[in-house]
Amino acid sequence: MPLSVFLVPIYTRPTPGSWSQLVSAGLIGGKGVPASVRAHPRLFLTLTAPSFGAVHARRTDGSCRPGPQPSCSHGRSLQCQTRHDEKDLKVGSPLCDACFDYVDAVLWNAEASRLWNRTLEQIRRRLAAHLAPGLDDNPPGFRLSYLKVAEFQRRGLVHFHVVLRLDGGGEAFNPPPRELTTEMLSIIIKDVVGEFSITTPHGEIAWGPQFELSDASALERDDLRIAGYLAKYATKSIDGTKDFARSFRARSNITSLNGSSHLRQLALTAWDLALEPEFEEMNLRAHAHAFGHRGQLITKSRHYSTRFLDLRATRASYMARESTGDPMSGTFIFEGRGYDDPHTVEVAEFLHWLSLEAKKSAPRPHATAGEEQ
């Protein structure tokens, strides 16, 4: 297989610090966002995919599926007494390949970003209805901003880590109307995520039952914790397989991979589905390395915090000053993409850590904005 590498100028590559600055600016201010946003309702949300078949797992107590389990229709046991090591390739792979619904799993990945966009639209609509019942023509004065990171679970299904923040309307970062509290936002999100689905030509697409919601204002001395985390993270080495780091050019690129046969099968399913006329317009072949997922790995709404472009421009002008004055003559390095994009993994881990911290230090389930102010 010919080795092809994506080359990007080093200064355009977001550093671990810059991605996390982007996240933390929207939470605690900085990079043009005022520190007063700390008093706004801010939530961490994790959304997952539903089940497409029983898979090996590594639960918090280290077990997989120890209890009595029925056999599947292919006569295979769905019980597993093994305590899997974290590196065990079995984790995330199905107990029975024939039972796992590869087609629906790939189609779920393919539609997940659209499901998110429609879910967000629905949350905004319900907030508007809460603020001004029956008033459809004049949109009420609030803005729901977000930053979303897509991350792949071991089973090859995408899940989303999202930071949400409520502001007032307009261009400034004013507080939202008093009626729109953290508690109200939490209730609406739980309702919408639990019941919302989109209709596609291939069936209904909905979120999985496992989802997490925590209040970012429960973070104590959030600025220090975030800074401490970043310092710790900056020294962490990032490695991992590059098997799914870029799109495939031939089916044999996939079949020749070593590693998890489950992930290979997901990629092959996406590749082969593209041959069928009804899936043609989904361009699944170009996304076989992401198991069908077609969205960006990191997305944000315009007002969440500084733009990716601004971070790049700052770095480019800095590099230009430091070197010969030509920002294009720099060192070129490999930029991983897709499944193993280390920056996405980093931001995803950062968000996951923040949400765990928020949960840990939460003095109460949901603080209201009223209590904050």
Q: How many residues bind Zn ion (CB under 5 A)?
A: 9
Q: Give Cα separations from 144 to 75, 107, 167, 216, 331 (angstroms).
A: 49, 28, 6, 15, 39
Residue with smaller CB distance to Zn ion, 101 or 212: 101
**Helices 16-28 and 222-234 sit at what angle, rounded to 10 degrees?**
170
The least distance separating Zn ion from the CB of residue 98, rounded to whole angstroms, comes to 5
Please report whether residue 56 would count as binding Zn ion according to CB under 5 A: yes
Residue with smaller CB distance to Zn ion, 74 or 236: 74
The least distance separating Zn ion from the CB of residue 272, rounded to whole angstroms, comes to 21
Please report whether residue 85 would count as binding Zn ion according to CB under 5 A: no
Binding mask 190-209 toward Zn ion (x if CB under 5 A, else -) reads: --------------------
Residue with smaller CB distance to Zn ion, 56 or 285: 56
Which residue is it, tokens 């977001």? 14
Residue with smaller CB distance to Zn ion, 70 or 201: 70
Residue of 159, 130, 160 whose CA lies nearest to 146: 160
* Binding region for Zn ion (CB under 5 A) out of 13-21, 79-87, 176-184, 295-303: 79-87
* Binding region for Zn ion (CB under 5 A) out of 73-81, 102-110, 147-155, 356-364: 73-81
SS3 19: helix
The one among 17, 51, 72, 198 contacting Zn ion by CB under 5 A: 72
**329/10 Cα distance (integer angstroms):** 10
Please report whether residue 87 would count as binding Zn ion according to CB under 5 A: no
* Binding region for Zn ion (CB under 5 A) out of 61-69, 119-127, 169-177, 272-280: 61-69
Please report whether residue 80 would count as binding Zn ion according to CB under 5 A: yes
The least distance separating Zn ion from the CB of residue 82, rounded to whole angstroms, comes to 5
* Binding region for Zn ion (CB under 5 A) out of 42-50, 55-63, 195-203, 329-337: 55-63
Instruction: Supply angle C-alpha 36, 37, 42, rounded to 5.
Output: 145
Residue of 168, 77, 111, 37 whose CA lies nearest to 284: 111
Residue with smaller CB distance to Zn ion, 78 or 206: 78
Decide: residue 68, CB within 10 A, 0-12 exposed, 13-18 middle, 19+ buried.
exposed
Ranges assigned E (strand) in 153-251: 158-168, 197-200, 203-206, 211-215
SS3 129: helix
Q: Give Cα separations from 83 to 34, 113, 295 (angstroms).
A: 48, 34, 34
The one among 10, 78, 89, 96 contacting Zn ion by CB under 5 A: 96
The one among 99, 129, 131, 230 contacting Zn ion by CB under 5 A: 99
Instruction: Identify the H or E element spanning 150.
Output: strand 142-152
**246/260 Cα distance (integer angstroms):** 17
Decide: residue 342, CB within 10 A, 0-12 exposed, 13-18 middle, 19+ buried.
middle
By the 8 A CB rule, do 367 and 217 touch? yes
* Binding region for Zn ion (CB under 5 A) out of 70-78, 180-188, 305-313, 352-360: 70-78
Q: Which two tokens stand for residue 255?
A: 């079949």
Please report whether residue 78 would count as binding Zn ion according to CB under 5 A: no
The least distance separating Zn ion from the CB of residue 208, rounded to whole angstroms, comes to 20
| Residues between 262 and 301 that touch Zn ion (CB under 5 A) | none
Please report whether residue 74 would count as binding Zn ion according to CB under 5 A: yes
Please report whether residue 127 would count as binding Zn ion according to CB under 5 A: no
* Binding region for Zn ion (CB under 5 A) out of 7-15, 60-68, 100-108, 344-352: 60-68
At residue 44, what is the residue type?
A: F
The least distance separating Zn ion from the CB of residue 153, rounded to whole angstroms, comes to 15
Which residue is it, tokens 């936002």? 185
Please report whether residue 98 would count as binding Zn ion according to CB under 5 A: yes
The least distance separating Zn ion from the CB of residue 59, rounded to whole angstroms, comes to 10
Which residue is it, tokens 């914790």? 225
- Residue 146 pairs with which residues in a beta bridge? 164
The one among 49, 64, 219, 319 contacting Zn ion by CB under 5 A: 64
In the complex, the residues that contact Zn ion under the rule CB under 5 A are 56, 64, 72, 74, 80, 82, 96, 98-99
